[in-house]
Chains A and B, each alone.
Chain A
Amino acid sequence: DLVMTQSPRSLSVSPGEPASISCRSSQSLLSSNGYNYLDWYLQKPGQSPQLLIYLASNRASGVPDRFSGSGRGTDFTLKISRVEAEDVGVYYCMQALHMYTFGQGTQLEIK
């Protein structure tokens, strides 16, 4: 079975500081078309998940440019250049190459 592993599981960041979340897949997410089928979602407290990044590095509509995604193959990273209070929540990576599998989530809190 394909496993998505996120690290860290939680992080505490001061406003204005950067944050980085890693996601590792047990199988390559590189499609034959050259794209990496990896998405990032944010679930704010008490809300439904929302799409942040698709195809590893493409911001979804309306997502602030402080969010960026990178990586290929099995290793991916979500970066927030300057954390804001509204970024609090649980971040999930999701692979979309072999059906769909989510990571365990990374809880982001503000210091």
Chain B
Amino acid sequence: QITLKESGPTMVKPTQTLTLTCTFSGFSLTTTGVGVGWIRQPPGKTLEWLALIFWDNDEWYSPSLKSRLTITKDTSKNEVVLTMTNTDPLDTATYYCAHSTWAITSEYFFDHWGQGTLVTVSS
């Protein structure tokens, strides 16, 4: 059974760095074809993909946020960490991590999601 859970601060001040951890079980990030991604959702708004890290250490980032994001993995701890620098109140959102894999062809979808963690950016 695949499970993921996000953890991190509930509030950060503008310009601070936000660090979120995704702790997962039921799969390994050393398995070919597996990834873990981060997606966020501002209150009342749609979803926004942020980053994705793969079993082979490849990293994908949202072009609009790439300069502020870093995604890393610790396979021994079954953790994926997302770091976002220079936060702004517009970064207030529920942040989800999700298991990513593919079927039939190399389209990576998100088939298991964590419960999400709400982060507020405010002074």
Contact = CB atoms under 8 A, between A and B. Distances in A.
Contacts of B60: 99
B113 to A, nearest CB: 4
A100 B96 CA distance: 15
Interface stretch (A11-19, A20-28, A44-52, A71-79): A44-52
A48 B47 contact: no
B47 A54 contact: no
Please classify the interface of chain B as helix (H, G, I), strand (E, B), loop, or mixed, using the class held by over half of its residues: strand
B115 interface: yes
Contact of A55 (B62, B105, B111): B105
A58 B105 CA distance: 12
Contact of B105 (A31, A39, A99): A31
Contacts, number: 65
B105 A49 contact: no
**Chain A binding surface, main DSSP class:** loop
A41 B46 CA distance: 12
Given A96-B108, A99-B62, A50 B49 contact: no
A82 to B, nearest CB: 25
Contacts of A104: 46
B63 interface: yes
Contacts of B111: 51, 60-61
B47 A49 contact: yes
Given A48-B96, A99-B62, A33 B105 contact: yes
Nearest to A102: B47
Contact of B46 (A51, A54, A58, A102): A102
5 contacts: A33-B105, A39-B107, A58-B104, A97-B107, A105-B47
Interface of B: 37, 39, 46-49, 52, 60, 62-63, 96, 103-111, 113-116
